[in-house]
Amino acid sequence: MEFAIYVVDTFTDTQFKGNSAAVVPLSEWIDDALMQRIAAENNLSETAFIKQIAPNRYEIRWFSPLTEIDFCGHATLASSFILFNHFDITGEIDFVTLEVGNLSVQQLDNGRIQMRFPNQCPEVVTDIPPALIDGLSIKPLTVMKNRQAYFAVLASANEVLDVDYKAEHLKLLAPYDLVVTASGICGSEVNAEVSSEFSVDSVHGAEYDFISRYFWPANGGDEDPVTGSIHAGLAPYWSQQLNKNELVAYQASARGGILYCEHKDDWVLVSGSAVLYLEGKIFV
């Protein structure tokens, strides 16, 4: 069998930044085990498989190197980028998912791709798992949870950049992942020694409403470079805390990524840029 494959860097307009995802368009679904083997071979955060079922309507499934994922933002962005730029799709795209309903996507006038996600605002957890506390070097101010992950709110952007984690403890949170977050980040406020581990050119001199990092050792890898789906929970939370509906977010990692978010009641709009890295073929 032969399949086309694309690799796209998402939530960035620069190659080798943001988060990479593979996109594999299919004419018919293939065996789940084969999709998982392809994702493991790609060894990227996610591989998205898409199949057209009607004009501008596609089924989509996402696989990390370890398992199928029920909700992935950056691979949805990558899939949309390929459809808009390589398949001549215009107008709104409707992605049909197995677990989170339909996701609608459109390309904005400024070139960014905007995805509509269900609002997944987290709720406060009173019984905090010991593995979460033991797995972080800094104790969170608040811990919350939604259907995807635990949310650990830290005191500052510097703490988010500085926090260390122990993957062996965080694995015990399965099936949940963990995001650490804090409000506000300005380049002048970030400790240069700490931020040197991250995408410094994206941090310094820039202002964001909130910052995050995402750990998922049980489901994909130790740390995800940029996680679109978790902003379906982060954006409504910080919208409430900051009393504003439009927010700009930064996810810190060695690659780093910028997400433009808007909280709209039952929905969260998450937008970002993307750039093509690779176009090729898979032979299996």
Model confidence at 184, in pLDDT bands (50, 70, 90)? confident
Per-position DSSP letters for 176-192, written without gaps between them: -EEEEEEEEEEGGGS-H
Q: Is the pLDDT of residue 186 over 70?
A: no
What pLDDT is stored for residue 284 in this prediction?
95
Task: Look up the pTM and report it.
Answer: 0.93
Which residue segment(s) compose the domain that 244 sits in? 123-264
Q: Is the pLDDT of residue 204 over 90?
A: no
- Look-up of token digits 């101010």: 141
Per-residue pLDDT reduced to its tens digit, 13-52: 999 999 999 999 999 999 999 999 999 999 999 999 999 9
Per-residue pLDDT reduced to its tens digit, 83-93: 999 999 999 99
The residues annotated as belonging to the active site are 46
What is the β-pairing status of strands 177-186 and 68-69? unpaired
SS3 breakdown of the chain: % helix, strand, coil, rounded to 5?
A: 25, 40, 35
Q: Say yes or no: 111 and 161 in one domain.
A: no
Model confidence at 113, in pLDDT bands (50, 70, 90)? very high
Q: Say yes or no: 201 and 135 in one domain.
A: yes
Among 122-126, 190-194, 249-253, which is the least confidently predicted range?
Answer: 190-194
Q: Say yes or no: 130 and 256 in one domain.
A: yes
CATH number of the domain to which 209 belongs: 3.10.310.10
Say what percent of the chain tops pLDDT 70: 92
Q: Say yes or no: 160 and 109 in one domain.
A: no
Residue 89 C-beta-side C-alpha neighbours within 13 Å: 22
What pLDDT is stored for residue 193 in this prediction?
47
